[in-house]
Structure formats: structure tokens, C-alpha cells
Amino acid sequence: MGSSVAMESDYGAARELSPLQKSRALYRPDLPPGLQGTAVTVEYGDAATAADVAGAHVISHAFPHTYGQPLAHFLGKTADVPDAAAVITEPPVVRVGVVFSGRQSPGGHNVIWGLYDAIKAHNSNSKLIGFLGGTDGLFAQKTKEITDEALSCYKNQGGYDMLGRTRDQIRTTEQVKAAMNTCQALKLDALVIIGGVTSNTDAAQLAETFAESKCSTKVVGVPVTLNGDLKNQFVETTVGFDTICKVNSQLISNVCTDALSAEKYYYFIRLMGRKASHVALECALQSHPNMVILGEEVAASKLTIFDITKQICDAVQARSEKDKYHGVVLIPEGLVESIPELYALLQEIHGLHKKGVATENISSQLSPWASALFEFLPPFIRMQLLLHPGSDDSAQLSQIETEKLLAQLVEDEMNKRLMEGTYKGKKFNAICHFFGYQARGALPSKFDCDYAYVLGHVCYHIIAAGLNGYMATVTNLKSPVNKWECGAVPITSMMTVKRWSRGHATSQIGKPAVHMASVDLKGKAYELLRQNSSNFLLEDIYRNPGPLQFEGPGAETKPISLCVEDRDYMGRIKQLQEYLEKVKRIVKPGCSQDVLKAALSAMASVTEMLTIMSAPSFAGQATI
């Protein structure tokens, strides 16, 4: 089938930039105060524990060299840090490699640009080496030195085409060995891996293996994925998510306006985003479609495909009573795996694939109940369900047209109700859309440009500090850039251990990994959606955020789901430390007996409560 590694000449070829692209190429993001100038201070915090308390032991065992390292914060020279562990003032020459791993996400190029700028600002003899064609290029030592000239056409531009990407993993023993060979052959001080949950898990594993093997290359991860599902106490959002949601919201809003103008169609729109429904949630908050069916809701309520169909039909009927025969329904691509019986059917099919059963024989080897469901489904969906699963063991989500399945089931049911006389409105008409690939290569929003560029700088400081197995982080993102806080977090502290899993994912049981984060059904973004959902459903209060703007109104907006959450986890940890200091200051020898008594009693109860909440058994219930 030919070589899977493209030749160097394919990349970075002369491009014709449009006027807007040219203007974007000249835009330079600001840096937060902590990163300005060449003297950046590193402040180390406590050793980070895993959020998954129950799994901490397993994680520490699997990552003896890289688990339990402290958090790091990067602060400007002028910051008031009495006990700073180190002040970096003599920048050494470094050789750094960088690779795109996983699906292209708008803003990826800016991570490389930020990293390059930081490296060169500290020592112009340092080198940044890009791997061509993703991890395949890393394994095969296909490189391209990053220069000002190479970067010039890619600053603030979409895609991953400056370097390209291929496969999404560094996992097998051969792959890890090949990566180590490359790092040693090229004498790399560090390797920066740009990607999502899977790539960052791989980065942590690589860091551990390098440490174990006394390979001096440090591994750094960067949270870049358009799905927005790499999200935890340290990572508020990922690079690309804002752009994807803006481009999709614009299209959804256009469709809403279209529906309202023509008044004769229901649009069923499936959105990319893999298993989690972050993109669908954000787009719903931006555009106010009539309905959005989040996979997390469906999974939590254990809704069947019939329950969902009925819900939509009831909505169509309620709208018809207001003489409305149009509407817009958002469907995340991960929905299909959230519907219990479809998921179970998919698991059976994947199991048979793994056993080597030929695709055309699978339907005859299904269990009776799975077979009954399978036969009930329309033929096009059957074909799609039979497709081989993707590299990360999930179904080929983007290939399964759940929107068409639901539209057809709803149409059948509405026709039935019409015949039976329980529905007296006009005929139900649906048009289906899949908004996938058309957003992925978009010009990144200002927010994604800024965030990615700053993350690139942070990577340099992680490398300069000699840290291994860390992810670059920027927090307090909902505030302006001059309030952003830059840090580094051991990737292992973002890991959890799955103790049970449905179906084919059993191979992952017991292995620590950075897992994708679902939409938090207790979070503020979801709450905001639910507060408005009946208005959205019946009142057509469609809102159009418009095309992504780079100047003027709208250019500075950020994801609503980012802005409504109390993120700034690190800020709140600091706040807690201030309280503890305050208690110390108040309760010193010389204070009254009453004050001491009150303090003892209060702190005893606080510590007892926190001990209970942090016990493995409790955490196990809450997070797994």
C-alpha cells in the first residue's frame, strides 16, 4: 500500500495566504506577566496527588520515577516569591523535539510557535526540531528544523500541515523504543507531545520509560484537542475547543435561522466530539437550538433509543400545538455509545471482530436479543455498526449516522401518531446534517491562538527547569491574558484507574491513564442549559454568535462553558492556604483559651470530614 510517511517536500510548501490569513499571520499574542522577559521564576508546590485517591497506589506503582512530583508555577522575576526554589537566569542551550499526536486541532501550530519563540529568546543557539508526519516521523527520525521562515505561514493558522500527522499513538514496545532511539540519536533535551488524553497518557508513559532507562530526554505534554474532553482540576479547557465550538455554533445558528424562515423542516445535526458531549453542550449554550441530547444525560438516565425517540416526538407534538413545524436538534456523535442497548450491541459486534469473524458473518452470530435489535434498525445503520472499531478501541463514531437513525425513528413514530389520530399536526419532515470535518481545519480563534502560544512558552520553562512527565498548564483562562497563571503538572496526577469497564475496554482495566472527562451533570454549564431548556424547546429563542471574528465585537469571546464554571483550581488552593496561614497567625501562644478551643474544635471537625471524603471508598463512588 506504499509508505505511510510523507516526504519532507510535502510539508511547508509555498502557500497562498488570503488577506485575512496574512493579517492573522501578523498577529502576535500577549504573554501573561509571569512569562514576560527572560527571567522566569519556578515555584514548586506540594507533591501532587492523583484526584483518583483510590487509584493512587496503582499509579505510583506504575510510575515510580514520575509520580508524586510537585506542581510547578512560573512567575515573573518581579513576583514576590520569598522562598522560590530556583531562579533561572543562565539559559542553557537546548535541543527540543516537537510532534503532533492525534487529530488536528485549531491552534496546534501556535504551540510550536510559542515554544520556538521562548527557546530562541533564551538562547539563540538552541534548536527546535519538528517531526514530520506525526508519531510515524518521530519513530523514523523524519525531521524538519523549525525556523522563523518555516513558521511564517503557520502563525495563527489552522490545521497541522506545517508538520502533518499520521497515527495517534506511542504505545507498543517497538514504538516506545523507536521514540527513545530518535531522542538519543538527535540528542534531544526534551520531547514535546501535542495532543489529547491518549497522547498525554502516552507522554507520561514515555517519560517514565525514559527515566527508568536513564535516557536524559524529558517528555512534556500539551493539552490540545478539539473535543474538549481533556479537562480536570488543572486543565480548564484544551486548545481548539473554542474554535470548533464557534465554527459549529455559527453553522447551527444559520440552520436555526433557516428553519425559522422556511418553517417546514426539523434539522437533526450531529456534532463531532468523540464520546463526551462538551462540544454539543457549548454549541447549545451559544445557539439555543430547540433540543440537545447529551450522551451523559442519556447514560445517567439509562435512556433507550425508544425513550429518546419518544422524547423528541413529544417535543415535536408540543411544538405543533403552537403551530410550529420546524426545529433544530443537536446530537453529539458519542450519543450512540451512551445508549445502553446500542452500546451493548456494539460491544458484541466488536467482540466478534476481535475473534476474527468476517463482517458479513457477524449478524448471524449475535446473541438473540442483540440480533433482534440489529434487525430492527434501518439497513444503513446496520452497515455502519458493522464497521471496524478505530485505533482507540471505540466505534468509528464519525461513521455512524445517529442523526439519520433518530430522524427516521421519529418520522415513523410521528406518522404512526398521525394515523392513530393522537397527533393532528402537519407531516414531520427532517433534514440531517453532520458537522464534522468542516470545523477541524478552521483558522483558530484569538483565544485558541493566545492559549496555544502561551502553552508553547510554558513548555520551554518546563524544559528549562528540567522537569519530566509534566503537562504545560495555563489557568484562570476566563480572565484576560494578564491574569493567566502558568504552571506545570505531573501528568500522572491527572490519571485515574478504571476498576470496571463495559465490554471491549476490559483491556484498560487497572491501567492508569488520563481518561476523557464527561460533561459534569452537576456543573454550572449543564445547569445553565437545563434552566433554559424548556424555553429553548418551545420559544425559538435562537441566538447567532455569528462567524468567528478576529476584530471588533465578538473577537474576545470565550466558551460559555469555560466562563460559567468556577475553574481556577490553583487559585482556590492558594486561597485555602491563606486561610490556614490566617488561623496560624491568630492562634499563637498568647491567644485566649476560648480562641484556641474554638479553633481546635473547628479544625478537628474539618479534618475529620476531609479524611472521610478523601478515603478511597468515598472517592471511588464519586469519581469512577
Binding to a copy of itself (CB under 8 A) within 114-173 occurs at 133, 157-161, 164-166
Residue 580 to residue 119: CA distance in whole angstroms = 38
Rule CB under 8 A: choose which of 356, 368, 421, 552 binds a copy of itself.
Answer: 552
Cβ partners under 8 Å of residue 287, min gap 6: 249, 252, 253, 256, 328, 542, 543, 544, 545
State yes or no: residue 604 binds a copy of itself (CB under 8 A). Answer: no
Q: Which is nearer to a copy of itself, 20 or 85 (CB)?
A: 20
How near is the Cβ of 450 to a copy of itself at its closest, in Å? 17
State yes or no: residue 6 binds a copy of itself (CB under 8 A). Answer: yes
Rule CB under 8 A: choose which of 148, 437, 527, 578 binds a copy of itself.
Answer: 437
Residue 624 to residue 381: CA distance in whole angstroms = 31
State yes or no: residue 546 binds a copy of itself (CB under 8 A). Answer: yes
Element (H, E) at 499: none
State yes or no: residue 593 binds a copy of itself (CB under 8 A). Answer: no
Strand, coil or helix: 160 = coil
Residue 96 to residue 568: CA distance in whole angstroms = 30
How near is the Cβ of 171 to a copy of itself at its closest, in Å? 20
Which range, of 176-184, 356-364, 474-482, 550-558, touches a copy of itself by CB under 8 A?
550-558
Measured over the CA atoms of residue 410, residue 412, residue 413 and residue 416, the dihedral's sign is positive
Please report how many Cα atoms fall inside a 13 Å half-sphere around the Cα of residue 89, on the Cβ side: 4
How near is the Cβ of 398 to a copy of itself at its closest, in Å? 9
State yes or no: residue 262 binds a copy of itself (CB under 8 A). Answer: yes
Q: Measured between alpha carbons, how far is residue 544 from residues 243, 287, 307, 414 in Å?
A: 15, 6, 30, 29
State yes or no: residue 257 binds a copy of itself (CB under 8 A). Answer: yes
Q: Which is nearer to a copy of itself, 212 or 551 (CB)?
A: 551
Give 620's strand partners: none
Residue 228 to residue 219: CA distance in whole angstroms = 22
How near is the Cβ of 16 to a copy of itself at its closest, in Å? 5
State yes or no: residue 390 binds a copy of itself (CB under 8 A). Answer: no
State yes or no: residue 422 binds a copy of itself (CB under 8 A). Answer: no
State yes or no: residue 542 binds a copy of itself (CB under 8 A). Answer: yes
State yes or no: residue 433 binds a copy of itself (CB under 8 A). Answer: yes
Rounded to the nearest angstrom, the gap between the alpha carbon of residue 43 and the centroid of all alpha carbons in its chain is 27
How near is the Cβ of 517 to a copy of itself at its closest, in Å? 25
Give, as ranges, the residues between 59 and 88 that touch a copy of itself (CB under 8 A): none
How near is the Cβ of 616 to a copy of itself at its closest, in Å? 42
Strand, coil or helix: 557 = coil
Residue 352: phi, psi to the nearest 5? -70, -40
State yes or no: residue 21 binds a copy of itself (CB under 8 A). Answer: yes
The set of cell numbers assigned to 454 is 502561551
How near is the Cβ of 441 to a copy of itself at its closest, in Å? 3
Give, as ranges, the residues between 84 and 113 that touch a copy of itself (CB under 8 A): 103-104
How near is the Cβ of 309 to a copy of itself at its closest, in Å? 22
Give, as ranges, the residues between 22 and 41 that touch a copy of itself (CB under 8 A): 22-24
State yes or no: residue 561 binds a copy of itself (CB under 8 A). Answer: no
Q: Which is nearer to a copy of itself, 145 or 323 (CB)?
A: 323
Question: Using an 8 Å Cβ cutoff, are 289 and 301 in contact?
Answer: no
Strand, coil or helix: 40 = strand
State yes or no: residue 549 binds a copy of itself (CB under 8 A). Answer: yes
Q: How many CB atoms neighbour CB 321 within 10 A?
A: 11
Give, as ranges, the residues between 303 and 342 that touch a copy of itself (CB under 8 A): 320, 323-325
How near is the Cβ of 512 to a copy of itself at its closest, in Å? 29
- For residue 92, the one-letter residue type is P
Strand, coil or helix: 71 = strand
Residue 514 to residue 567: CA distance in whole angstroms = 19
Rule CB under 8 A: choose which of 17, 87, 583, 595 binds a copy of itself.
Answer: 17
Residue 324: phi, psi to the nearest 5? -110, 125
State yes or no: residue 7 binds a copy of itself (CB under 8 A). Answer: yes
Question: Using an 8 Å Cβ cutoff, are 63 and 512 in contact?
Answer: yes
Residue 302 to residue 146: CA distance in whole angstroms = 50
